[in-house]
Structure 1
Amino acid sequence: MKHFLLALFLAINTLFAWSQQKQPKLVVGIVVDQMRYDYLTRFWDKFSENGFKKLVTNGFNCEQTHFNYMPTYTAPGHASIYTGTTPANHGIIANNWYEKETKKTIYCTFDETMKSVGSTGNEGQMSPKNLLVTTIADELKTANKTSKVIGISIKDRGAILPAGHQADAAYWFAGEDEGKWISSTYYMQELPKWLNELNQKNTANTYLQQPWQTLLPIHDYTESIADNNPYEEVFDGEKAPIFPHNLPALRKANKNYDLIKTTPFGNTILKELAFEVIKNEQLGKDKITDLLTISFSSTDYIGHQFGPYSVEIQDTYLRLDREIAELLTFLEKQVGENEFLVFLTADHGVADIPQHAIDNKISAGYFDEKKSFKKVNAALFEKFKVENLVANLSNYQLFFNHDLIKEHQLNLIEVENAAVNTMLAQQGISKAVAATSMKSAEFTDKIMGNVQRGFHQVRSGDVLFVLASGWINKWTKKGTTHGSPYNYDTHIPLLWYGTNIKQGVRTEQVAIADIAATLSVLLNIALPSACDGKVIEGLIK
């Protein structure tokens, strides 16, 4: 009893101490789309002293931070970071998913009731309505309505989901022939004056008028494979995936302003937007904590096209390191040293290009979803004599046509089991499980536990499957992707820096949900509604 009372006393004292701490004037949440943890160590010697190195050496580094679900995609990643839970609860099960009720594929942030602001197209028909729980941003706004919350990204989902339901604004980039920052009527009826002025400067055009050359002499990129190799995709109109990339000549064939997304300069224009948001919205200028969420998307576009061992991806991170350094310097001048808190993480990692892995004697391969879809429907027809029992195959899931199952009075579990066995018989699939099992059993091993935590009982499919390690859903042998429950897709950086953050390192594993739980304590606000994360030990002063 004495030990219990002592532990209770210490816990209460700790919570009281946290509640009395100085609050940051501004929290900046940085997500680097597709950043694997090993990029920090591989490129370390080429980083400057004031970017990633400053965050690591002067802040707190959670070295073993992992996503604990699949599929590891952009939308679920951003939602999980800021809600403190997994797709099983927050409902963002993919970037796009098959909706059972309408029998159509929907986009994670699409909202037909909204209109674009700053654009004549439909790129602004967006909102966070599909996000089923609250975010740390929502809890900050609930605690104090005068707190400002703004989300920015090249991608709409990278801006909208982190900022939550009560955000003051979210801005993203409209490409093709527009080349400007836009928003949605969910947040406002017109863009602020300062953003119109920034759009008129059109710095994206300036960057696209020059070639993309390496930041350092190309022979210094010793951490990467040869620049000219058979594994990378080329830009349309380019004969080989090599430096320099002639952006002015490539614009027309690559959808004009869309091209900047697949260059480091997409990160540059986002950094410039961040500066303008902080200045013009007066973030961090009073005692009430504000929140700015920044998601750097170009790292993802470049990673998909060129892969994790390319000169292009290394050059992108060396340049991003300089952008981070500029952002930290700007925050110190604009908000004040020790007056802001920054955390930097990623929404997922990425697999090696399978053909590159195969050529280096690593097990890998390519899975063809279209062929698999036909195979499983053929097998089910042979057994049940009903055509098209599988309505959709996407996001490592099979969705059944339940109307046909009812019409022909089939036993759902028998159909599930037949589909599971058919999937397991296909090369490249390591695991398959029925939704009935997902609902009735608890999986404790890492891989199947990740599958279960990504399974939403209403939105997810009838059979879920996992590809073998190194395998990806892709028909071409150039470029790569992500989505698996394996370490190359789940292990990401988590760096903390600023107000109330200790200098240190945590080597024990941290789950992505722990970010929101830790922020709730640092900001002395309620946990997001479905948050199941834990406060990271040893991080808070």
Structure 2
Amino acid sequence: MMRTAASALLAALLMAHAPSAQPAPPLTPPARPRLVVFISVDQMRGDYIDKFQHQWTKGLKRLVTEGAWFRQADYPYYNTVTCAGHASMSTGTVPAVHGMVLNQWWERDNSRLVSCTDDESQQLVTYGIPVKGVGHSPKHLMTTTLSDELRLQAASPPRVVSISLKARSAINLGGHRPDAVIWLDEADGEWVTSTAFAKAPVPYFADYIAKHPLRNEMGRPWDRTLPRDRYLYDGSLQGRQRTALVTKDFPHIVKGTGNEVGGAFTDAWESSPYSDAYLAALAAAALDGAKLGRGASTDFLGISFSSLDKVGHDFGPDSHEVQDVLIHLDHELGMLLDKLDRDVKGAYVIGLTSDHGVAPVPERVKAQGFDAGRINTVTVGRAIDAVLARELGGGSYRTRVIYNDIYFNEGVYLKLSQNPKAMAAVLDVVRKTEGVWRVYRKEELSATDPFTRSSALSHFEGRSGDIKMLGRAYWITSSSTSTHGTGHRYDTRVPVLLFGRGIRKGEYLQPSSPIDLAPTLAHLLGLTLPDAMGRVLSEALVP
């Protein structure tokens, strides 16, 4: 795997992440788990536990009250998005090392947008009708995951399975050599994998999908699970933008604008708790079909529950929909834990976290008299292009702004670097954009500047933008109801939970991060992660 000369710098940047404490006594780990269950709940903000746990009675409640809950867990980098988060939690390091900087980035030499898991050398393998589209693989992931090191270092080969609605989530959890990985192709509404992982469908997944076609989910009603007065906030529609569901408020109908399974219906179904229930059922099918946790090796099951992210984007973090998705997930995780207790009989360990948080809806913040708004990245790109045309001469520049990264086409940034006047004009037009807080050239990212440290940890040369545009708090770069992707605490702070064999229950206030999960689980398994920058959460381990 790729190593970079930046490792020493990044280690220094992360020193602030490690808490100061007296050296811990040597730990003697208990019997090693037979199964690692690595759970990501996409877009689960850290404060959701504090706010909403009174609504939970099953799985989430059990993980919080019987497991180890790290309440001060933050990502140390800026671009808090799905691909970066899943790669970070599974490798124990940051985008500057693993390379998964964004969900998509601008490929300058080909002048095109590419997904973090795109691989044109691979093809999709479908569990239903044939589908179109590019294949996927972890070829852009520049280091190994926990599951990879389990395969490399374990005495007996593990069975590794990873499941999500999203390719970028399932692949980054499963790593380079999983036995089975599955996700949903949104365009066609079919479950798929890639020839990077398998040449044919996995039988236990195929059997479940054949017996439970997605078409049966179309038109299902979704209403509040609990009485309305059990939900926090007023369920306001203020600031709500276009949603995937045809209904704007409860009771919802899980249906898109047409009658096809793909496209609009798939988008709507993903924006309901029923998609998480389906993922949990696929996980149960994998536990039975692959007999995970019941062989000679320690096995790995990765699950990324995606519904909360879709619902958070559509309805916002204070919505009753977000709360209800978590109530449903609490139920699904309760059944999963019961199954693990029966089948693996306590010989398992669970790590749960999220890939990022989410911002408050800016219109609601502004209505209360605070500074908030939306930064239109297309408008910013066009303003930069106008400056380039004036300063460098006519041409088609097509500057791209993706979250906080500004990309120039091949050769343009070099010209700017050689023309201080033009560079200053570009930086000035970005800096004057309403909602922008700071603007940095990539050369300015420094370990000594607390404002650029998180951006430095997000920067991977060749994939990241040439200029970083940092927005003020409560300003977002999206037309969705809400989004994420910044270094503000509502985006960086997420839950970190450990549960099961070798874990000491309790609430912990020590500084921590999702990048600590993989090193901690690796310690329990007797593994070494080559590029991990997270620490072992020793305070939560049974001595």
Q: Shared fold (TM-score greater than 0.5)?
A: yes
Check 1:54–1:332 CA distance in 2 against 1; reply closer, same or farther (3 A cut).
same
Q: Deviation digits for residues 506-529 of structure 1, max 9, x if unmatched?
A: 1021122211221221110111x3
- In the TM superposition, residue 405 of structure 1 has moved relative to its aligned partner by 6.1
Q: Map of 1:32-47 to 2, 5 A cutoff? A: 32-47=41-56
Q: Which moved more, 1:506-515 or 1:487-496?
A: 506-515
**Aligned alpha-carbon RMSD (Å):** 2.3
**1:69-468 equivalent positions in 2, closer than 5 A:** 69-118=77-126, 119=128, 120-122=130-132, 125-144=135-154, 146-178=157-189, 180-202=190-212, 204-221=214-231, 223-226=232-235, 229-235=237-243, 238=246, 241-247=248-254, 252=259, 255-337=264-346, 339-385=347-393, 387-388=395-396, 391-404=399-412, 411=418, 415-438=422-445, 441-445=446-450, 447-468=451-472
2: CA distance, partners of 1:182 / 1:109: 14
Which amino acid in the other structure matches residue 427 of structure 2? V
Shift of the 87–276 alpha-carbon distance from structure 1 to 2, 3 Å rule, reads: same
Deviations 1:143-191 (A, max 9, x none): 125111111001111111111111111111234554x432111111111
Measure how far apart 1:205 and its partner are: 3.2
Structure 1: 4+ residue segments shifted above 6 A: 10-13
For 1:313 and 1:460, the matched residues in 2 are separated by: 31
Shift of 1:494: 0.6
Question: Alpha carbons of 1:176 and 1:464: their partners in 2 closer, same or farther (altered >3 Å)?
Answer: closer
3-state SS, counterpart of residue 182 of structure 1: strand
Cα distance between partner residues in 2 of 1:377 and 1:182? 40
Cα deviation, 1:362-396, whole Å, max 9, x if unaligned, reads 32111111111111222233344454556322231
Structure 1 75/219 Cα, relative in aligned 2: closer, same or farther at 3 Å? same
TM-score, normalised to structure 2, is 0.90
- Aligned with 1:471 (options 471, 475, 479): 475
Of residues 418-427 and 346-355 in structure 1, the stretch that sits farther from structure 2 once superposed is 418-427
1:113–1:58 CA distance, 2 compared to 1 (3 A): same
CA 1:371–1:150: 2 relative to 1, 3 Å: same
Give the superposition deviation at 1:501.
Answer: 0.3
Taking the aligned partners of 1:409 and 1:159, their CA distance within structure 2 comes to 39
- Distance of 2:423 and 2:448 partners within structure 1: 18
The aligned amino acid for 1:452 is A
Q: Distance in 2 between matches of 1:158 and 1:458?
A: 22
User: Does the 8 A contact of 1:155 with 1:172 survive in 2?
Assistant: yes
How far apart are 1:415 and its partner, in Å? 4.5
Amino acid at match of 1:442: A
Q: Which one is further off, 204-213 or 129-138?
A: 204-213
The alpha-carbon distance between structure 1 residues 192 and 401, as it changes in their structure 2 partners (threshold 3 A), is closer
Relative to structure 1, the CA distance from residue 538 to residue 168 in structure 2 (aligned partners, 3 Å threshold; closer, same or farther) is same
CA shift for structure 1 position 307:
0.4
Q: Which amino acid aligns with 2:351?
A: F
SS of aligned partner of 1:488: helix
In structure 2, distance between residues paired with 1:38 and 1:471: 20
CA change 1:290–1:425 in 2 (3 A) is same
How many residue pairs get aligned? The number is 516
Q: In structure 1, what is the Cα distance between the partners aligned to 2:244 and 2:320? A: 19
- Which sits farther off after the overlay, 110-119 or 486-495? 110-119
CA apart distance, 1:536: 1.5
SS in 1 for 2:400: strand
- Displacement of 1:320: 0.8
What amino acid maps onto 1:540 in structure 2?
Answer: L
Paired residue for 1:14, among 22, 26, 32? 26
TM-score (norm 1): 0.90
Alpha-carbon spacing, 1:177–1:94, altered in 2? closer, same or farther (3 Å) = closer
2:435, 2:475 within 8 Å by CA — same for their partners in 1? Answer: yes
**2: CA distance, partners of 1:410 / 1:220:** 57
1:60 corresponds to 2:62: no
Paired residue type of 1:492: V
- SS across alignment from 2:113: strand
Give the letter aligned to residue 480 of structure 1. S
Q: Are the counterparts in 2 of residues 159 and 293 from structure 1 also a CA contact under 8 Å?
A: yes
Question: What corresponds to 1:3 in structure 2?
Answer: none
* Aligned equivalents of 1:498, 1:259: Cα separation in 2: 35
Please state how far the C-alpha of 1:412 moved relative to its aligned partner. 5.8
Q: Structure 2: which amino acid aligns with 1:73?
A: V
Do residues 488 (structure 1) and 490 (structure 2) align? yes
Q: 2-side partners of 1:67 and 1:305: how far apart?
A: 24
Partner Cα separation in structure 1 for residue 256 and residue 376 of structure 2: 34
Structure 2 residues not aligned, in runs of 5+ = 1-21
* Deviations, residues 65-89 of structure 1 (Å, cap 9, x unaligned): 0011121110000000011111111
* CA separation of 1:117 and 1:509: change in aligned 2, threshold 3 A: same
Pick one of 494, 497, 510 that aligns with 2:499: 497
CA distance in 1: counterparts of 2:39 and 2:24, whole angstroms: 31
Q: Is the 8 A contact 1:27 1:340 kept in 2?
A: yes
Tell me if the contact between 2:244 and 2:264 (Cα under 8 Å) persists in the aligned partners.
no
Relative to structure 1, is the Cα distance of residues 123 and 249 closer, same or farther in structure 2, using a 3 angstrom cutoff?
closer
SS of aligned partner of 2:399: strand
> Alignment identity in percent?
29
Structure 1 unmatched ranges of 5 or more: 1-9
Q: CA separation in 2, counterparts of 1:156 and 1:410?
A: 37
Q: Residues 17-50 of structure 1, C-alpha deviation per residue, up to 9 Å, x if partnerless?
A: 23xx3110000000000000111111121111x3
